[in-house]
Amino acid sequence: MSDKGKHREIDDLLNRIFREDSKLNYYPLNELFEQRLAYLDITTHQALRIMEIDHKTLSAILTGEAKKVDFLTIAKLADFLEVSHEEIINKYFQLVSDTHNEAISAAKRRSFIVNNFNLPSLKKIGFINSINEFDEIEKRINSFFGYDSIFDHSKHKVTAAFSSGKRTTNKENLSFWYAAAKQSLDRTPNPYQYDREGLIEFFPQIRWHSINVEKGLLLVAQALFKLGVTLIVVPKFTKDLHLRGATLAYRDKPCIVLTKYTNFYATMWFALIHELFHVLYHWDEILNEKYHISGETESMRISETEANEFARKYLFSDEKMDIVRDRIDEHRYVKQFAEQNHVHHSIIYTFYSWDSGDDENYKRFHRYMPPFDNLLQRFKSDEFLRFVPVKEISSKRNVDIYTI
């Protein structure tokens, strides 16, 4: 290497070192000031006269106690110390951060809370008692989700194929629901590998379980679990959460989260089949892309319309509805026809009411719609609404359903 090239390399190395030294901020602001006084061999009083600032103002800046940022004084101090304005400002904010770390940390946590949680909604559902008691709010959130830090909530990005209604869901409330689901799944280890062929083989039996209102979904969940598909139930929490369920790629295995979207038993089974369609036919996309949101829009590779059509055809097709439509008021016939086609009769009434577009039909056939809260309680859905810590809910559910 020539001498010229060698010197250029040394200069570049030294420049990088000096730049790194500047970034590392080895010397705090007050020490830089003292060094400057010693170098110039002047007193603090003389320095104040040079910069035309008073002692109180300078002291507040050097100690990080200034209540307001005086940029004119900052500029004068930077010129006196012969450092850039940018560097002096960085040093000042670092000093303030170190001096008031606890207060800044508290403000940061509170800002995170108001930016990531819909506090009026949480107060309305009884999760918190006040929207202003931030210390209590933080403790409540951490206790419910099992967070070590409130910032753990930021981990829960929306990575799901959501079956949604057409109304807009509040994003903070959606994140609350999604975090509950993810934290619950985190505590529900599934030791089985996902068996797609096994799921296809089991699929014809799923519809038949809808007839068993008390235990049908429970039995399906246990069968799916052994096929590597975990099914849990998490309630909506808030009224503006317009979701029927979600398909998550979690630990590289399919997980389905259902919620009680309506009071109609059929809706829950429709949502389950819809999500299982995603598991069967969109699993690679969900696994690779980590999320797909279903609802008003569709991605290029994942069709919500296709999933809905599959669920409808699987449970009770249009062709079958054509057969029963003219005798819809004959309950004995409808019930018998439903049993012959391995579905609960309420599914026929719900689909008929949907097809008619007349809300009066839902009222008309309401007496044939079975309550299913007892079934959802087996999944500990009601305990979510009492805000029992997610860890406890998951532990009880795992023992009762999956014998984990």
Is residue 30 within 8 Å of residue 37, measured between CB atoms? no
Question: pLDDT tens digit string along 332-390?
Answer: 999 999 999 999 999 999 999 999 998 899 999 999 999 999 999 999 999 999 999 99
- Residue 241: pLDDT band with limits 50, 70, 90: confident
Question: pLDDT tens digit string along 289-316?
Answer: 655 545 434 454 667 889 999 999 999 9
Is residue 228 within 8 Å of residue 195, measured between CB atoms? yes
Percent of the chain's residues with pLDDT above 70: 86
Kindly provide the b/e burial profile for residues 207-226, where b requires at least 16 CB atoms within 10 angstroms of the residue's own CB.
bebbeebeebbbebbebbbe
pTM: 0.80
- Residue 196's closest CA among 279, 255, 129? 279
Rounded average pLDDT over 172-176: 90
Domains and CATH numbers, the chain: 3-99 (1.10.260), 110-151 (no CATH), 158-316+371-402 (no CATH)
- Cα dihedral 180→400→376→274 (10° resolution): 70
- Residue 269: pLDDT band with limits 50, 70, 90: very high
Record the tokens describing residue 92, joined without a space.
């000042």
Three-state SS string over 314-339 comes to: HHHCHHHHHHHHHHCCCHHHHHHHHH
- Residue 76's closest CA among 93, 100, 92? 92
Rounded Cα gap, residues 404 and 399, in angstroms: 5
Record the tokens describing residue 345, joined without a space.
């009769």
